[in-house]
């Protein structure tokens, strides 16, 4: 890799690799001012208190799905596949926001390989301050500190490759369900009120996928992962499951649309908790579609995002993208 080459860093949230890392992971996430926008020193103090209180519960859930967090291996696989389709003109790195390899470690390693330009590619389909924005901020700071030019790829709520991959993964299941719930990670409602456009991009994803459902298939949108007593984006997934059961739905398909790698929210919150709720309210068939993962159409879509970003930056001629 010669000086002047272009790096690509694929960033995901990350997760604990062992039970001993659970509290530190929670603390690191909640200490982020874009995740918990409280003033210092209240934010780190509260982050530590919440981490200590929630660590045992979260660790118990991870034990059911296994350590390390599946996000780590899933993101690595996606990064490897992206590297193959981009070829030698790009140096692709896999990184995480709240665990290693983090921004400092990853960007330093790319700099050591002679990287002078960096495309920041957050693995979040819909843009939010608490996901995309914090990832871009952390990695762009490191790039700027080391004199590396950088560009952000942007979100991809209805990017054709992403939608094609998701459609192919849910298609075999849609005919087995009376109703489809497109499900996304929620946000505190006060975050949305302050101007976070995430719910609008979530709706774009849901609408793009709904357009590919069999004619007449009923669908709705709901949000998961609510924490605490504050109001979050609605409708809540738990409420939607109960509503549909009350209307007589007995065959349900849930499609997670805000994650590209399997994680605690898909493998436990959906596959275990939501499935148990559905069974308790009379839904006899509860199905869950896979995430996009390293599906070839999704990988091709990410490649397109990288090439588009490089061209917009005027970097294409230098590496023949």
Dump pLDDT digits (tens) for 163-174: 999 999 999 999
Find the domain containing 114 and state its range: 5-17+68-155+296-319
The domain total for the chain is: 2
Positive or negative CA dihedral for 110, 114, 117, 119?
Answer: negative
10 and 127 housed in the same domain: yes
pLDDT of amino acid 5: 87
12 and 130 housed in the same domain: yes
Residues in the chain: 321
131: closest CA among 261, 12, 48, 30?
12
Cβ–Cβ < 8 Å for 85, 303: yes
CATH number for the domain harbouring residue 260: 3.40.50.1400
Positive or negative CA dihedral for 178, 184, 188, 194?
Answer: negative
250 and 150 housed in the same domain: no
Model confidence at 320, pLDDT cuts 50, 70, 90, reads very low
132 and 168 housed in the same domain: no
Residue 255 clears pLDDT 80, i.e. is over it: yes
Start-to-end CA distance of the chain, whole Å, equals 15
Mean of per-residue pLDDT scores for the chain: 95
CA distance 88 to 102: 23
pLDDT of amino acid 319: 46
Whether omega for the bond prior to residue 101 falls within 30 degrees of 0, making it cis, is: yes
91 and 220 housed in the same domain: no
Alpha carbon of 222 to those of 1, 255, 315: distances in Å?
A: 45, 10, 40
pLDDT of amino acid 75: 98
119-173 pLDDT tens trace: 999 999 999 999 999 999 999 999 999 999 999 999 999 999 999 999 999 999 9
Segment 58-87 shows an average pLDDT of 98
Q: The whole model's pTM is what? A: 0.95
Phi, psi angles (nearest 5°) of residue 289: -75, 150
- The SS3 assignment for 17 reads coil
């Amino acid at each position: 890799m010669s000086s002047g080459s272009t790096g690509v860093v694929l960033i995901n949230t990350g997760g604990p690799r062992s039970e001993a890392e659970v509290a530190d992971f929670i603390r690191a996430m909640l200490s982020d001012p874009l995740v918990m926008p409280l003033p210092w020193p209240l934010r780190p103090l509260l982050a530590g208190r919440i981490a200590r209180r929630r660590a045992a519960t979260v660790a118990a859930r991870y034990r059911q799905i296994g350590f390390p967090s599946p996000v780590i291996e899933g993101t690595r696989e996606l990064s490897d596949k992206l590297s193959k389709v981009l070829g030698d003109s790009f140096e692709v790195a896999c990184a995480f926001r709240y665990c290693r390899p983090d921004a400092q470690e990853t960007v330093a390693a790319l700099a050591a390989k002679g990287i002078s330009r960096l495309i920041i590619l957050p693995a979040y389909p819909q843009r939010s301050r608490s996901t995309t924005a914090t990832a871009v901020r952390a990695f762009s700071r490191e790039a700027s500190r080391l004199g590396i030019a950088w560009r952000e790829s942007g979100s991809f709520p209805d990017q054709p490759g992403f939608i094609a991959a998701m459609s192919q993964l849910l298609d075999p299941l849609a005919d087995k369900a009376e109703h489809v719930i497109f499900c996304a990670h929620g946000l505190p409602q006060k975050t949305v009120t302050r101007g976070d456009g995430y719910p609008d991009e979530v709706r774009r994803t849901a609408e793009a996928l709904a357009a590919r459902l069999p004619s007449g298939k009923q669908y709705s949108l709901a949000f998961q992962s609510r924490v605490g007593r504050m109001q979050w984006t609605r409708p809540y997934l738990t409420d939607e499951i109960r509503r549909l059961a009350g209307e007589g739905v007995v065959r349900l398909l849930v499609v997670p649309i805000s994650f590209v790698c399997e994680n605690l929210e898909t493998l436990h919150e959906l596959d275990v908790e939501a499935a148990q709720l559905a069974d308790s309210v009379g839904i006899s068939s509860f199905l869950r579609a896979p995430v996009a993962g390293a599906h070839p159409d999704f990988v091709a879509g990410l490649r397109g995002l990288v090439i588009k970003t490089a061209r917009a930056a005027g970097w294409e001629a230098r590496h023949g993208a």
